[in-house]
Amino acid sequence: MQPDKTILFKTIFMFSALLLFISLMGCTKEIKVNKVTSADKMQQLVINISDYARDIHPKFIIIPQNGCEIAFNDTNPDEAFSPDYMNAVDAFAVEELFYNGDYAPDTYRIDLLRKLATKKKILVSEYITNDGNIDDAVKRNLDEGFVCFPRSEKNYHYKFIPGKIRNENTDDITKVSEAKNYLYLINPSEYEDKESFIEAISKTNFDLVAIDLFFDGDDAFTTEEVNKLKVKANGAKRLVICYMNIGAAENWRYYWKKDWELHHPDFIAKKYEDYENEYWVKFWDKSWQKILYGNDDSYTKKILNAGFDGAILDNAEAYYFLFKDK
């Protein structure tokens, strides 16, 4: 007797669907495992940078930016803090928490940061397209105990000094936990030269100033120049922190080679969406880590040599974006 073709086709279809479901479940599990494993590696990278820097400068400040989940065991905010990670960092920085152009509160991260704020200072850079909402953004962060740097639409790329300082004071600031406000000015393109850039910052009373290691290209700030920035206009002390991108490579940096491109070298892993000159990296790769720390030519050592008080380690969330679309 010939088998019923309808039954046969249905059987084949159901079996194929089952195999596809099993395959997809396996892929989903693999992606989740990859993210967790990658997060653990990011956690260790931050710890290693901190250990290296503090062996040279014991009070060196470490502020990872974004990816705050890695402060918790297994990147799970319902778990306990990772003690080694919490000991390695002094504060946490995040971007676009309550505002991302318009009011758009990220309730997941807000709840997460409330937990972290019981242990560390939280620095929040808000992006606000309507200047009428700046005071609201500052107040919402202040109510949570967070320190807010509000940047307007024209200041999306951190190029301008705001005309008003919230919570301005005459206190000496020697620890990040003491900061009541901060300036994030990592793009000096609006300034003709180093001197005018330094002068503009020196005329302000921000408690903490975050700038890039370089003014233009490979023109690094010197210890003398950084020391000038460590004094507010009112004469009080402040902290000067250096920006360093640990999760993405930037093709204008001194370390970038002419023949580098996506997947060459291998640690250049993925295009950074909306940033055409940046690439997500396999940050656990030894060649990339050698660029960041552990030797006299490393980025961290250059920051230390210039006399900065600490570093903001940007793109600590790279563990997520490497696997986001897979």
> In this structure, is residue 8 part of a structural domain?
no
Residues 46-69: what's their mean pLDDT? Answer: 98
Distance in angstroms (rounded) separating the CA atoms of residues 122 and 112: 11
Residues 198-204: what's their mean pLDDT? Answer: 98
Number of domains in the chain: 1
Q: How many CA atoms lie within 13 A of 38 on its CB side?
A: 21
Distance in angstroms (rounded) separating the CA atoms of residues 252 and 244: 13
> In this structure, is residue 11 part of a structural domain?
no
Q: Quote the mean pLDDT of the chain.
A: 90
Per residue in 216-236, pLDDT tens?
888 999 999 999 999 999 999
Which range of residues forms the domain containing residue 305? 35-321
> In this structure, is residue 282 part of a structural domain?
yes
Pairing of strands 121-128, 147-152: parallel
CATH number for the domain that contains residue 216: 3.20.20
> In this structure, is residue 130 part of a structural domain?
yes
> In this structure, is residue 16 part of a structural domain?
no
Q: What is the largest CA-CA distance in the chain?
A: 99
CA 23 to chain centre: 34
> In this structure, is residue 22 part of a structural domain?
no
pTM: 0.89
> In this structure, is residue 208 part of a structural domain?
yes
> In this structure, is residue 45 part of a structural domain?
yes
Per residue in 247-272, pLDDT tens?
999 999 999 999 999 999 999 999 99
Using 50, 70 and 90 to split pLDDT, how confident is the model at 34? Answer: low
Using 50, 70 and 90 to split pLDDT, how confident is the model at 32? Answer: very low
Given this model, what pLDDT does residue 280 score?
A: 97
